[in-house]
A and B are shown apart, each in its own frame.
Chain A
Amino acid sequence: MSTIIVDNISKKFRIPHEKKNTVFQHIVGLIKRQFNYEEFWALKDVSFEVNKGEAFGIIGRNGSGKSTLLKILAKVLYPDSGSVSLDGKVASFLQLGVGFQPELTARENVYIYSSILGLGRKQVNRIYDEIFDFAELKKFENMKLKNLSSGMTVRLAFSTAFHAVPDTLLIDEVFAVGDESFRKKCRDKMDQFKAEGKTIVFVSHTLNTVKELCQRSMLLNEGRIITMGDTEKVINDYLAMLQKKTI
Chain B
Amino acid sequence: MWQYRELIWNLTATDLKNRYQNTALGFFWSLLSPLLLALVLYFIFRNLWGREQDFAINLLVGMMAWRFFATGTSSSLRAIVGNSSLVTRVYIPRQILVLSNVLANIISSLLEFIVLLPIIFILLGYLPVTVFLFPLIHIIYFWFIFGAGLLLSSLYVYFRDLDQIWQVVTQVLFFCSPIIYPLTIIPANLMPYYLLNPVTQLIIMYRDVMVAGDLPSLYSIVVVIGFAIAAYLVGSLVFSKLQRRFAEEI
Question: Which A residues are within 8 Å of any B CB, using their own CB?
Answer: 13, 21-24, 26, 71, 74-78, 90, 92, 94-95, 98-99, 101, 103-104, 108, 111-112, 115-118, 120-121
Contacts and interface: CB of A to CB of B under 8 A. Distances in A.
A11 B37 CA distance: 52
Contact of A23 (B7, B91, B159, B247): B159
Contacts of B161: 21-24
B10 interface: yes
A144 B81 CA distance: 25
Nearest to B87: A76
B18 A101 contact: yes
A117 B6 CA distance: 11
Given A103-B17, A104-B17, A121-B6, 8 more contacts: A22-B159, A22-B161, A92-B89, A94-B90, A95-B85, A95-B89, A103-B22, A116-B90
B91 A103 contact: no
B247 A77 contact: yes
A45 to B, nearest CB: 20
Interface of B: 6-7, 10-11, 14, 17-18, 21-22, 83, 85-92, 158-162, 165, 244-245, 247-248
A49 B87 CA distance: 26
A26 B159 contact: yes
Given A23-B162, A101-B14, A74 B21 contact: no
A98 B22 contact: no
A76 B89 contact: yes
Given A21-B160, A22-B159, A103-B22, A76 B6 contact: no
Contacts of A78: 244-245
A98 B85 contact: yes
B86 A116 contact: yes
B10 A115 contact: yes
A111 B10 contact: yes
Contacts of B165: 23
Contacts of B22: 103
Taking chain B's interface residues, is the majority helix, strand, or loop, or is none over half, making it mixed? Answer: helix
B90 A92 contact: yes
B17 A76 contact: no
Contacts of B245: 78
A48 to B, nearest CB: 20
Contact of A112 (B10, B83, B85, B91): B10
By CB atoms of chain A within 10 A, which of B7, B11, B161 has the most? Answer: B7
27 contacts: A21-B158, A21-B159, A21-B161, A22-B159, A23-B165, A26-B159, A71-B88, A74-B91, A76-B87, A76-B88, A76-B91, A92-B90, A94-B88, A95-B90, A99-B86, A99-B90, A101-B17, A104-B17, A104-B18, A108-B14, A108-B17, A112-B10, A115-B10, A116-B7, A116-B90, A116-B92, A118-B7
Given A103-B21, A121-B6, A98 B162 contact: no
Contacts of A115: 6-7, 10
Contact of A22 (B17, B18, B21, B160): B160
Contacts of B92: 116
Contact of A98 (B14, B86, B159): B86
By CB atoms of chain B within 10 A, which of A95, A98, A108, A117 has the most? Answer: A98
Contacts of A120: 6
Contact of B89 (A90, A94, A111): A94
Contact of B247 (A76, A111, A117): A76
B4 to A, nearest CB: 8
Contacts of A76: 87-91, 247
Contacts of B247: 71, 76-77
By CB atoms of chain A within 10 A, which of B11, B91, B158, B160 has the most? Answer: B91
User: Which 7 residue pairs of A and B lie closest in terms of their CB atoms, listed nearest first?
Assistant: A22-B161, A75-B91, A115-B7, A95-B89, A78-B244, A98-B89, A115-B10
